[in-house]
Amino acid sequence: MISTKDALKFAIVNPLETILDVKSGPSSVRVRLTYTETKPSIKPSKSVDRNEGLKRRKTGIDKNGLDTVHVELVGNGTGCCNLSLGQGSPSSEESSTGLAELESSECSNFPLKRVNEPCHLVFVYYRAPMYFGGRYLKFSRNVSQTRWIIDDERMGEASIEEIIGGNILPMCQGESYKFHAAGREDIDVRMLGSGRPFLVEVQNARKVPSEALIKEIETRMNNLEGKLVGVKNLSLVTSHSWDLMREGEAEKQKQYCALVWISRPLEDEDLQCIASHKDLQILQRTPVRVLHRRSPLERGKMIHWMKTEQITGSSQYFLLHLCTQAGTYIKEFVHGDLGRTHPSIGSILRCRAEILQLDVTDVKMDCFLAE
């Protein structure tokens, strides 16, 4: 059993191939034809009353004490048929259903009158969404991932969404775009290393760019004045990449580098203590800074490894390198968030700890890596 749409497609494909001298095949291009009558449909002048020709008569009582009804459709010159309901019926339930359908149906004479009025045709041409994938880098601590407006005031000097999407959209001559990324970083956090995977979904693109043009756009974005954002491995991908990115997002590991201050001089024992923690399980309650938009939950996360790097000439500042499970709040892991994250760097070193700067140095995912 096939749908009417598929049957029509099979019926017209071969004639169209012959007339247009082309071959048909799957494509992201869609053509929608909508036919509308210019005048309302006129019902046939002759109709049969719902109960005309339908007679019932009681024929007796069956062995269960129920009345048996005999129903006849009496012909009126166009032929006749008999529908009997009783002990001889194969299924009383089936017969009752047939009777109900018969009573509720509207009988009409055929063939219907021919329609001579023209119809109104609406022709819509569009393309299924086109996807561009890659990895972005963020070099500024004043650039948000998406457009951020509060009370008509822009937060940050720009957004990754607008920089990347604003360059890709004209290349495709599309109507609009949507920006998707595998996670996000705070506006004051840089994204370095291999970059963060992203997808740009372009709606109704009128042009499919060549590989050369895509590379040209990538180079142009990497050379923009101000050097706020960089792009790696930009390419045209399929919609399946969306599923791959979402699957990898939940399983990914992320590496960070944080500039940390503590309330006492850093000692050699502290370096060894931090490095000794492998696959450290921590509990994090929803941070105070995001409680207004996140549910108050407690989440278990893992710190896979940590190491420290001393800063020459400073005894209370150091760089903390660490690899964590996706979704770990790094800032809160350093200062403890008033005890809402435990353990933390502060509790491990038994002193006050504050994070001054944070960079994402790697996102461990397989998608959109250079071949």
Boundaries of every domain in the chain: 4-41+115-126, 54-104, 131-251, 253-364
Confidence at residue 74, expressed as pLDDT on a 0 to 100 scale: 43
Residues of the chain with pLDDT under 50: 46-56, 58, 61, 63-96, 99-100, 102-106
Catalogue the long-range contacts made by 338-344 (C-beta closer than 8 Å, 24 or more residues apart): 338/288, 340/284, 340/285, 340/286, 340/287, 340/288, 341/282, 341/283, 341/284, 341/285, 341/287, 342/282, 342/283, 343/280, 343/282, 344/282
* DSSP secondary structure letter of residue 245: H
Task: Confirm whether 186 is a catalytic residue.
Answer: yes
Confidence at residue 9, expressed as pLDDT on a 0 to 100 scale: 83
Threshold 0.75, pTM exceeds: no
**Whether the domain at 131-251 and the domain at 253-364 fall into the same CATH topology:** yes
> Is domain 131-251 classified as CATH 3.30.70.2510?
yes
The residues, ordered by sequence, that sit 6+ positions from 152 with a Cβ below 8 Å of its Cβ are none
Helices (H), the chain: 4-20, 92-104, 160-172, 211-222, 240-251, 268-275, 330-335, 345-349
The residues, ordered by sequence, that sit 6+ positions from 111 with a Cβ below 8 Å of its Cβ are none
Distance from C-alpha of 235 to C-alpha of 185, rounded to nearest angstrom: 23
The residues, ordered by sequence, that sit 6+ positions from 163 with a Cβ below 8 Å of its Cβ are 221, 224, 228, 229
Q: How many CA atoms lie within 13 A of 294 on its CB side?
A: 14
Burial tier of 263 (Cβ tally within 10 Å: 0-12, 13-18, 19+): exposed
Confidence at residue 23, expressed as pLDDT on a 0 to 100 scale: 86
Comparing CA positions, the residue from 356, 258, 358 lying closest to residue 309 is 258
Comparing CA positions, the residue from 266, 345, 364, 254 lying closest to residue 309 is 266
Please name the CATH architecture into which domain 253-364 falls. Answer: 2-Layer Sandwich (3.30)
Distance from C-alpha of 330 to C-alpha of 15, rounded to nearest angstrom: 63
Confidence at residue 64, expressed as pLDDT on a 0 to 100 scale: 47
The residues, ordered by sequence, that sit 6+ positions from 309 with a Cβ below 8 Å of its Cβ are 318, 319, 320, 321
Confidence at residue 153, expressed as pLDDT on a 0 to 100 scale: 86
Distance from C-alpha of 31 to C-alpha of 52, rounded to nearest angstrom: 47
Q: Out of 21, 49, 152, 186, which one is annotated catalytic?
A: 186
Confidence at residue 225, expressed as pLDDT on a 0 to 100 scale: 85
